[in-house]
Structure 1
Amino acid sequence: MSKKMYPMLINGKFVESKKSIDVINPSTGNVLGLVPEADNDAVQQSLKAAEQGFKAWSSTTPAERKKIILRYADLLDENSERIVDLLIEETGKPRDNAEYDFGMLTTCLRFFVEEFERLDQPVLHDPDGRFLHYIQRQPLGVAVGMLAWNFPLLNVGYKIGPVLASGCSTIIKPSHYTPLASLETAYLAKEAGVPDGVINMITSSEHDVTKALLQSDVPSMVTMIGSTRGGLEVMNSSCTSVKHFSVELGGNAPVVVYPDADVCDAANKVVDLKFANCGQVCVSPNRCFVHESVYDEFVAAAKARAADVQMGPMISDKARQYVLGLVESAVADGSEIVCGGKAVEGAGYFMEPTILKDVDARMKVSYEEIFGPVLPIIKYTDADDEIALANDTQYGLAAYVFTTNLAKGLRAARDIKAGSVCVNEPHYSVQLPHGGLKQSGVGKDCSRYSLQEYLTLKRVSVLIEN
């Protein structure tokens, strides 16, 4: 039985190609559907369409855009059950995770419309009183978005939310692992009244083909969610003309658990975040530093919490084998498996939730991004500098601190080099800026700070007195 083809969307039209890509259900290993393998013609069509779409969309008023964007969000909600079911099939996510993933798309659409209305365009001081100086913000241009597979619709929302609200246009390339639900949401944009060419979505597994998107001088911005290695390749390919970048890349998030922390609460929250989405989360706890005085208590509490974890599959067997290799390497270097550590037998790419103790910072599982269901727990003592341990990584995306001492928590938040530091509870929300330091990227998703990246900052000076 032939599988359904999900075409690309370019300039409001369904576009196929000579080659196709199999989309695999990671829960079964079976082919779920097909998407086109974009060729150079499709890439060039999308660039031309986005250029035309920008001219049309940027000339509309904010009020006109708001009406269409809110209609789009409502239409997505009306089709949520169908889209969430497809998202579950292509990612293997549990339903509550998939509903959150979908919900962030509509949340972003509605949030950025409102946030656009709150943007300031201030009047600036003139020391001689001769000029009126003010700031004007205008749509930046065409944005190319290269997205990851772990939260497909959240990632789409992070990009098209500010794109649409600002008056820009976009070419989105979702991951070829999980393009189906993303394409379905793009189809609905046309039905909602988004002009042709404003949202274009292409599918490809070949970097050499999509490189033409990056090398073109049409895009004003290149934005990405993915690995640091991938980000460097994308940025390098894009430097054929001056472009803006907003890239959220790899992470190696530390957790610091101080001896005065509520240990059971800390363990529960760390485990819940670690095994969410099967550990395939950029802000997932990757290195858990626990003071020796509460180390055994924390390990026991984490093990107890992990016993109740229900996870979906990893995205591919290749990804699962990589993570299993990290576990094997850690054990060979002296770590001990507290629980899990194996692949789950049967169909799909499932793995047991895994906790490792007696890990040290020199093990590969400590300095590589895991992106899987493995929690390494590292003991530190009063002789150690726990902040230096937390900062001993090229990454700087997220960090977590647990303590009941306010001064200690604030000091750790100040000194840990990460784009976000959460004290006593992990917390993420659309109004809060999300992005990294060091090799974890530049720019922000979510919040007004993301929206501002899709707008120019123009200074206007008007002579009022000679």
Structure 2
Amino acid sequence: MTVGQLNRWNHNWINGEKIETDQVVAVHNPATGEVIGHVPSLTEELVTGAVDAASQALPSWSRLTAKQRGDYLLAWGERILLHKEELAQLLSQEQGKALKEARGEIAGSVEILRWYAEEAKRAYGEIIPSSNPGQQLLVYREPVGVVGLITPMNFPAATLMRKVAPALAAGCTAILKPASTTSLIAVALFELLMDTNLPKGVANLVTGSSNVIGTVLMNDSRVRKVSFTGSTEVGKLLMEQAAKTVKKLGLELGGNSPVIVFPDADLDKAARDIVDNKFENCGQVCNGINLIYAHEDIREQLAEKIVELVSGLKVDIGTQPDADVGPLIDQGAVKKVEALVNDAVAKGAKVLTGGKRLEEDVYQKGSFYAPTVLDHVTPEMDITHEEIFGPVAPILSFKDEAEVLQRANNTPYGLAAYFYTKDAARIYRVIQELETGNIGVNGTSLAYVQAPFGGVKESGMGREGGRHGLDEYLESKYVALTL
């Protein structure tokens, strides 16, 4: 795919029409620094126009049957499959991730569409036994209304689908604001959605200033829900702004996800799973492992296994067929990772592999950082408290179960946690004690469309995925019917 081809995705969609503007935002390939496209930078007036369109489309869209709405989602999925390789190439160029990961993300996006196309048919209401004769108590499930959807850069196709698919399936109309660094894949996916002859105004795509778009979405009372995936700092700001119109919020925010490896664990499996999780998408994963707690009896053995696997990872431009790890999203992300590693080393951490920027040869124009393993990490280091969001695996030691659970829970975050043990009684104890929204036991994969995903504490509120993800876009209407 050439840059010329990429430039055809240079527009937004409002009320079923393509929107182009003189003011644009450049999109870069983080592996080369090359500008690969531009998207509009919308004015407040144009964003308000998107809200107008979604509001006008809501009555007719919400009155369609769930099957009719689901058929549009299925048709969208079929069109995506016809262009799956082209979309994967675009995703890899724009976001930087390895092509094999990009292909998996596109395929997973279609699975999300298919699942919600069916799940919409099961948005059941209730009949509640009445206290009085001649009366029925009814509960209807109805769409929330117009929703604003704000997606991040790390999984720009899959996260888009985890918000747009349940919203449309539930009967809501939507305004999507993708991350500025990864807007092209959103435009390409919306192009295919519009090819289904979706009614005008049901789904609208807006790009540009987060401040401009966010201000409109948060201040307009017609927008009844906002779903945001991103930083805790921004999430807290959105909570304050939502109070003005009492909007419903869905927030997936920051994390500090630990993995705990107990001495009876299968160390080979634990090492493989940890490396697969930690270095996916160059460590830019919301529920990615941030800290590796290894029992003191097996710490050295586990560290050796992890280092051996990490040393074999191929770092390259994502579109290269043998790439395992691509670049970080930009130089700012590299600087953050570099600062965290430097702080840890200055305070006594030992670099077992990596620990530096990659700047020579193919890496010189990109945002590359070597896959890194740190040992002898302690709680005094910044890396134990801040979300790394990069290819660094810090290893900490612990002595007993109570100690490590206290340390793992000693954080304002609660997005995900993982642990490895063969002890059935310990499995139930640790599940009960971990203060987190998602737990992996003897495995580190949590991405299943039928399961609810979301955090507790400062990692957010609400759930995406499963029937719970559809519920986020529905309201209950109670009727006391006297016959």
Q: C-alpha deviations, 1:312-364, integer Å up to 9, x for none?
A: 11000111111011000000011111110111112211111101110012210
Q: Say whether 1:348 aligns with 2:362.
A: no
Local SS of the residue matching 2:368: coil
**In 1, Cα distance between the equivalents of 2:280 and 2:210?**
29
| 2:70–2:116 CA contact under 8 A, matched in 1 | no
2:152 corresponding residue in structure 1: 148
1:334 corresponding residue in structure 2: 348
| Identical amino acids, percent of aligned pairs | 34
Deviation (angstroms), 1:13:
0.8
Structure 1 gap ranges (5+): none
**In 1, Cα distance between the equivalents of 2:474 and 2:466?**
14
Q: Say which of 439, 449, 459 aligns to 2:478.
A: 459
**In 2, Cα distance between the equivalents of 1:197 and 1:238?**
23
Q: Say whether 1:420 aligns with 2:438.
A: yes
**In 2, Cα distance between the equivalents of 1:106 and 1:49?**
26
TM-score, length-scaled by structure 2: 0.93
2:275 corresponding residue in structure 1: 271
Local SS of the residue matching 1:378: strand
**In 2, Cα distance between the equivalents of 1:384 and 1:335?**
24
Q: C-alpha deviations, 1:364-405, integer Å up to 9, x for none?
A: 000000000011110011386111111011100000010010
* 4+ long deviations beyond 6 Å: none
| 1:344–1:351 CA contact under 8 A, matched in 2 | yes
| 1:228–1:439 CA contact under 8 A, matched in 2 | yes
Q: Say whether 1:54 aligns with 2:58.
A: yes
Matches within 5 A, 1:25-40: 25-40=29-44
Q: Say which of 306, 330, 335 aligns to 1:302.
A: 306
Deviation (angstroms), 1:105:
2.0
Local SS of the residue matching 1:410: helix
Is 122-131 or 405-414 further displaced after alignment? 122-131
**In 2, Cα distance between the equivalents of 1:211 and 1:127?**
46
**In 2, Cα distance between the equivalents of 1:13 and 1:154?**
24
Letter in 2 for 1:325: A
Is 447-456 or 5-14 further displaced after alignment? 5-14
Cα separation, partners in 2 of 1:406 and 1:129, compared to 1, 3 Å? farther
| 2:70–2:120 CA contact under 8 A, matched in 1 | no
**In 2, Cα distance between the equivalents of 1:137 and 1:357?**
52
**In 2, Cα distance between the equivalents of 1:141 and 1:98?**
32
| 1:216–1:240 CA contact under 8 A, matched in 2 | no
Q: C-alpha deviations, 1:206-248, integer Å up to 9, x for none?
A: 4145312211111110101111111112222232201111111
Matches within 5 A, 1:227-242: 227-242=231-246
Q: Say which of 374, 382, 387 aligns to 1:364.
A: 382
1:213 corresponding residue in structure 2: 217
2:319 corresponding residue in structure 1: none
| 2:80–2:192 CA contact under 8 A, matched in 1 | yes
Letter in 1 for 2:297: S
Q: C-alpha deviations, 1:2-27, integer Å up to 9, x for none?
A: 88261111111111223111100011
1:100 corresponding residue in structure 2: 104
**In 2, Cα distance between the equivalents of 1:258 and 1:131?**
58
Cα separation, partners in 2 of 1:291 and 1:11, compared to 1, 3 Å? same
| 2:273–2:444 CA contact under 8 A, matched in 1 | yes
Q: Say which of 252, 255, 259 aligns to 1:255.
A: 259
Q: Say whether 1:407 aligns with 2:411.
A: no
Matches within 5 A, 1:70-109: 70-109=74-113
Q: Say whether 1:374 aligns with 2:392.
A: yes
TM-score, length-scaled by structure 1: 0.97
**In 2, Cα distance between the equivalents of 1:337 and 1:53?**
56
Q: Say whether 1:4 aligns with 2:7.
A: yes
Is 2-11 or 139-148 further displaced after alignment? 2-11
**In 1, Cα distance between the equivalents of 2:200 and 2:132?**
48
**In 2, Cα distance between the equivalents of 1:205 and 1:90?**
19
Deviation (angstroms), 1:126:
2.1
**In 2, Cα distance between the equivalents of 1:177 and 1:383?**
42
2:325 corresponding residue in structure 1: 311
Is 164-173 or 128-137 further displaced after alignment? 128-137
Letter in 2 for 1:4: N
Q: C-alpha deviations, 1:141-163, integer Å up to 9, x for none?
A: 01101110000000110011101
Local SS of the residue matching 1:290: strand
Letter in 2 for 1:158: R
Is 318-327 or 234-243 further displaced after alignment? 234-243
1:395 corresponding residue in structure 2: 413
Q: C-alpha deviations, 1:109-139, integer Å up to 9, x for none?
A: 1111211222332221224444211221011
**In 1, Cα distance between the equivalents of 2:239 and 2:159?**
19
**In 2, Cα distance between the equivalents of 1:421 and 1:4?**
41
Q: What is the total number of aligned residue pairs between the two structures?
A: 464
Deviation (angstroms), 1:430:
0.4
**In 2, Cα distance between the equivalents of 1:419 and 1:209?**
29
Matches within 5 A, 1:131-146: 131-146=135-150
Letter in 2 for 1:331: V
Deviation (angstroms), 1:264:
2.1
Matches within 5 A, 1:9-20: 9-20=13-24
Deviation (angstroms), 1:176:
0.3
Local SS of the residue matching 1:293: coil
Local SS of the residue matching 1:385: helix
**In 2, Cα distance between the equivalents of 1:166 and 1:325?**
44
Local SS of the residue matching 2:103: helix
| 2:256–2:411 CA contact under 8 A, matched in 1 | yes
